[in-house]
Structures are given as structure tokens and as C-alpha cells.
Amino acid sequence: MEKKIVLLPGDGIGKEIMESAKKVLAAIESEYHHDFTLQECAIGGDALDRYGVPLPDDTLHACEDADAVLLGSVGGPKWDNQPPEFRPEKGLLGIRKGLGLFANLRPVKTFPSLLHASPLKEEIINESDMMIVRELTGGLYFGEPSERRNNGDEVVDTLAYSRYEIERIVEKGFESAQIRNKHLTSVDKANVLESSRVWREIVNEKAADYPDVEVEHVLVDAAAMKLITNPSSFDVVVTENLFGDILSDEASVLTGSLGMLPSASVRADGLGMYEPVHGSAPDIAGKGIANPIGMILSTALMLEYSLGMQEEAKAIEAAVTDCLEQGYHTSDLNIKDGKQMSTDEITEAI
């Protein structure tokens, strides 16, 4: 069956690693007899340079019509001094909101061959395997008013949620826990924020529908500590947009494999956008040395979550693990007695 995939290479190393995703998709296509139609569109700084806006309408429409979207990365110092509406990040926020991708799923797990690269002691990070479920289209990121007042003497941002928005992300958290290890950590700041108190009530209500899932509430400050002192105690973590931004980035450096981590941003009907967790790495862009594994594993997540291709996803993941175990790696890693490769070489190897 034909599947339409939109590719958004974006900025920095985005273009290079998207080439890796294409090669992997071509391999899956011929091995499993699929028919992928790929369409490349502009986003972020690239779109600003070419069309003057960070998210052209054509890009949004193409994504709406697709079965899934792959994103490289967005942003770079070149556009850092633009006014807010003309910054690459606006493209990212716009596509999340425009497509209604309310759930950001970020699996964080250790790769045995990379444990030595973790900043944490091995006995602490060992066996960690968690999934952060972050709300992506509400909260402080989109609440109104967000403005200066009294001639700029005051400024407000608004953390706003509807019950519905909280309910659907909390359900996503429970569902993720059900297919994993049946433990859900809900993170909030219920001792201070009214929105967190509503959040906590909804989690407690929904818990009745998922009796097999054990629920725990942790305050965001305590969660920031526990991620470091006891990362393996987490299974699924569900939280609102800004807390999820901070905690998922914190979690992403624990294993020492930031360059390998994929992420998915999805909505209820299965449409999803998949991207590596790392940024656009302008310092190494164009050199052909970027680590494509986060992008390749994002491609695997796409096959699994949006295209229903479990077996194909497993095949990609196995190929990555294999490669790492053979000591193949890019310059961001440092595997003893391993073989350092370029983006192209390691993609071929995988």
C-alpha cells in the first residue's frame, strides 16, 4: 500500500541526517515491498531564507495530507536575532499546533555499548528505560494573554489548559504505561499551581479506567532530582508542556546517547511527526560527520506508530544495536576499540 511521507530536513545537520532517513526508507521499501511516496518541504530557518516565513502554508497542507512526517532539526544562530514571529522555532510550534500533535513521546533508554559515555555512574544509569509523554500544544507555550503591559512595565504569559486537553494527554500516558511496565509517574506542581491541581484530579479520575497501571504523583522539582538519583525508577512520565520540555531534555543526557534518541509528536488519528531529540548542531553542519542514529530511530518510530509496521521498525532498531555492538560510531561518540565513521558510512552499515 502506498504511504505518503513528508520530509522536513530543516536547518543545520537536518539535511544530512534526512539523507540517512531516505536511505533507510529505501531499504525497507525494497526489503518489505512497500511503496513510500516522499515529498520534501521547507520549515524553520530554511523556510525563512527561501519563503520569508518559518512555516509556509504549502508545508502545513502537505503534512495534513500525509500519513506521517519526518523532521530533521530546526534553528541556528543565523536567525537568533529575528523578531519572535520570524524565528525558526515558530515553524516548529506552528506545525505542532497546526497539525494538533498534542502528545510528544520521548523514549529514553540506555545502550549497553554506550553506558561509559553517560555522565552518571554506571550503577545509577544502568537499566534505565523510560518514556516521557509531554503535552505539546497547550500550557504556557500557547496561552493568551502573552504580552507587555503598562508601556512595558509589566509582562504576562498565561498557562492555560482545558480539561479536554489534560484528559487526552493523561490518557496517552496511561495507554503508554499499559503497553510498557504499567507504572505512570504524573509530574505537576500541585502545591502551587491551580492548573496542576486540576491535572492531578484528572489523573486520579482516569486511574480508575486503568486499574492495571500503578500511578504516582511527583512534584516537578522532586522529579528533576529523582531523574538523576534514581532514573531506573521511572517507566512512563506524563506531564504538561513546559515541565515536559525541561524534564525530557534533562533525561536525554542521562544515558550519554543524546545523539541516538528519537521522538514522536502524535495526535489521536495516528498522524505523527518524528524527529531526533538533538538540535541542528550548526557547528558541525555540512561536514558529513553528524550522527544520523537519532534520525534513523525516529524513522523506526514512525513506521511503528504511524504506519503500523512493527516488524520493519524492529528490523531498524536491531540494525542500529548491531552496529553499535560492532563498535561503529560517529565522532560525537567514543567507543573504545571502535571504528569512527562518517554519516554516510554508518548509514550504509546500518
Ligand X SMILES: CC(C)[C@H](C(=O)O)[C@@H](O)C(=O)O
* 119 labeled part of a ligand binding site: no
Ramachandran sector of residue 30 (left: φ over 0; alpha: ψ -120 to 50; beta: rest): alpha
* 85 labeled part of a ligand binding site: yes
Nearer to its own copies, 65 or 147 (CB): 147
Q: Tell me if 92 contacts ligand X by CB under 6 A.
A: yes
What residue has cell string 532514573?
A: 231
Concerning whether 51 is annotated as a catalytic residue, the answer is no
Q: How many CB atoms lie within 10 A of CB 338?
A: 15
Residue 344: CB minimum distance to its own copies, A:
28
Map residues 90-109 to x or -, x wherever contact with its own copies holds by CB under 8 A: ---x----------------
- Contact yes or no for 289/331 (Cβ under 8 A): yes
- Contact yes or no for 16/340 (Cβ under 8 A): no
**Catalytic site residue from 51, 157, 182, 245:** 245
150 grid coordinates: 503598562
Map residues 196-225 to x or -, x wherever contact with ligand X holds by CB under 6 A: -------------------------x----
Q: What kind and span of H or E run contains 274?
A: strand 272-276
Distance CA 29, CA 27 (A): 5
Select the span of 89-97, 122-130, 201-209, 332-340 touching ligand X (CB under 6 A): 89-97
Residue 325: CB minimum distance to ligand X, A:
30
297-318: burial string, b at 16+ Cβ within 10 Å, e else: bbbbbbbbbbbebeebbebbbe
Q: Tell me if 311 contacts ligand X by CB under 6 A.
A: no
Distance CA 67, CA 302 (A): 10
* 249 labeled part of a ligand binding site: yes
**Catalytic site residue from 3, 172, 189, 206:** 189
Could you tell which of ligand X, its own copies, none binds residue 17, using a CB distance below 5 to 8 A set by kind? none
Task: Using CB positions, name the residue nearest to ligand X.
Answer: 89
Q: Report the interhelical angle of 241-252 vs 220-229 (nearest 10°).
A: 10
Q: Tell me if 147 contacts its own copies by CB under 8 A.
A: yes
Q: Contact residues for ligand X (CB under 6 A)?
A: 89, 92-93, 191-192, 221, 245
Which residues carry out catalysis?
A: 141, 189, 221, 245, 249
